Structure 1
Amino acid sequence: MAPIRLLVGCVLALQVFTAALALERGCPTGTGNNTYANPALSLPYDGYLPAIDNETMYLHHTRHAGGAINNVNAILARYPTLRDSVTLADLVSKIGLKGFTHKYKIADNDTTALRNNAGSMINHAIFWRIMTSYNTSSPAAHLQPDLSALINATWGSPAGMLDALRSSASSLFGSGWAWVVYRSNGSLAIVNTPNQDNPLMQRFAAPATHGTPLLGVDVWEHAYYLRYRNVRASYLAQWVYLVDWAVVQRNYELAKAGSIDSLYC
């Protein structure tokens, strides 16, 4: 009986280990073979009205964000060790670093492609999660005292934080993102990153923008052009009413704990 119990024990341990690996890999996944899948939205495409129209959400989610995921899967197929052993957050954080590039023998053109497409994956996964239905979430109902006090000390109020985020996003030249980030010293800051760069990127994000994203707003024109044309400020004025403060609080707790992969799951 002892060998059977030992075998059963080994099988259970392997199952737990395998489950842990799958969890640690992070989201968005869903294909069962360590490739990535486009995460579902929490609302239907018309659930973001009146801030964002359903056609924009459909195209943004399926074509732009979905296209980046397809590109990442195609690149990682050439690097199975990288695909099978590195989480999305770790990939985004370390892409372009010499040691990381050398370890996985990543070609220069694939480094650039992963910067753009894996950056898009994590950026959009955070973006989808941070939004809820229009004007239904309030900071008073969801922020815990420590985060509320930190926001108030930094910007005067949650509304002041969103005003500062809108101002920063409006000032960004060209395409990119505006973020509220948590820094290792316990402070909060608003930063901008160009294109699909992310504040986690050690190699490509400017040091002044480094931090863990708590929320981010997409200011590529594909995020708003059908409804707002080129008037980014009008989009931002409406977008702030989609912020899910419960997720802001959740992301803050995860950032403090260093659970970066859970931010976009």
Structure 2
Amino acid sequence: MNRRFFITTTGAAVAGSFISTGAQAASVISLEQAPLPYPSAALEPHIDAATMDIHFGKHHVAYITNLTKALEGTKLSGDNVVKLITDLSKVPEASRMAVRNNGGGHVNHTWFWQWMAPAGSGATAPEGKLGEAIQSTFGSLDDFKKLFGEAGTKRFGSGWAWLIVKADGKLAVTSTPNQDNPLMKGVVPDTDLGTPILGLDVWEHAYYLKYQNKRPDYITAWWNVVNWDAVAKGYAAAKEA
């Protein structure tokens, strides 16, 4: 079966259950790629279907394939890749960089698909305790978007912008290079460690077909498809942890 067809036909079926599972579904990530929680064209016009098909069907798949190869010959399990990448010191040095890059790529992208949803399908802004926390931390939603956008725009080369919940329960905006993320102890600075509840992929493969070199335009458009319901669930889970 053609992957594009598979995504399109299965996405609608899982979309209804996605809101109820939200961030909890991302707490354990195996080596299997979950289907998109929406058809690949569902984020248009903000994120085009061609980009989604390549991003999900080729780039994400490549991370899983390469991670599987990196784990071969080790005693490490791929049953929970999130746990695996949080302490890379336990990974044999010969495989460490491959696990860091490809494990991070798999985890980050699995989250990323869930942090987006078709425009108008859910909350259009952070509400409840998440909304209050964003306002009290950053001053306003617009101030938060500006800070987050700057984190993505100023990230040199490839990487991610993140909204995290730190160990003290406070929100913070940070950025990481390549496929690193704020769970990676010993990789990212201690000041940037935390639980990611929203992340934006600013690798060129995430936006170049539609926005070419205009990363700020991509970031501005992306806010239209942020799944605030999933972000709120992630915030609640992180506060309870």
| TM category, shorter | 0.7 to 0.9
User: Which residue among 131, 135, 150 is the counterpart of 1:148?
Assistant: 131
The answer to whether structure 1 residue 173 and structure 2 residue 156 are counterparts is: yes
Match of 1:93 in 2: 86
| Higher CA-based Rg | 1
Of 72, 77, 90, 1:83 maps to: 77
Please give the per-residue CA displacement for 1:41-89, whole angstroms capped at 9, x wherever unaligned: 111111110111111000000111110011111222322x3216x6222
Summarize deviations over 1:158-196 as a string: whole Å, max 9, x none.
343223211211111110000000001111000000000
In structure 2, C-alpha distance between the alignment counterparts of 1:87 and 1:25, rounded to whole Å: 10
Name the counterpart of 1:121.
Answer: 106
Distance of 1:215 and 1:130 partners within structure 2: 6
Separation in 1 of the partners of 2:151 and 2:32?
31
Structure 1 SS opposite 2:197 = strand
Structure 2 partner of 1:199: 182
Instruction: Name the % identity.
Output: 34
In the aligned structure 2, how far is the partner of 1:112 from the partner of 1:190?
A: 25
Counterpart amino acid of residue 129 in structure 1: Q
Note the alpha carbon deviations across 1:97-116, whole angstroms, 9 max, x for none: 2xx24xxxx1x231000000
Provide the residue aligned with 1:183 in structure 2: 166
Cα distance in 1 for residues equivalent to 2:144 and 2:27:
29
- Let me know the Cα RMSD of the aligned residues: 2.1
Does the 8 Å CA contact 2:29/2:82 hold for their aligned counterparts? no
Say whether 1:133 aligns with 2:128. no
Residue 3 (structure 1) aligns with: none
Residue 19 of structure 2 corresponds to: none
Tell me the amino acid that sits aligned with residue 55 of structure 1.
A
* TM-score between both structures, scaled by the size of structure 2: 0.84
Which structure 2 residue ranges, 5 or more long, are not aligned?
A: 1-23
Which residue is equivalent to 2:32? 37
Segments of 4+ in structure 1 off by > 6 A? none
What is the number of equivalent residue pairs in this alignment? 218
Structure 1 contact 26–88 (Cα < 8 Å) conserved:
no
Shift of residue 139, structure 1, vs aligned partner = 5.2
Q: TM-score, normalised by structure 1?
A: 0.77
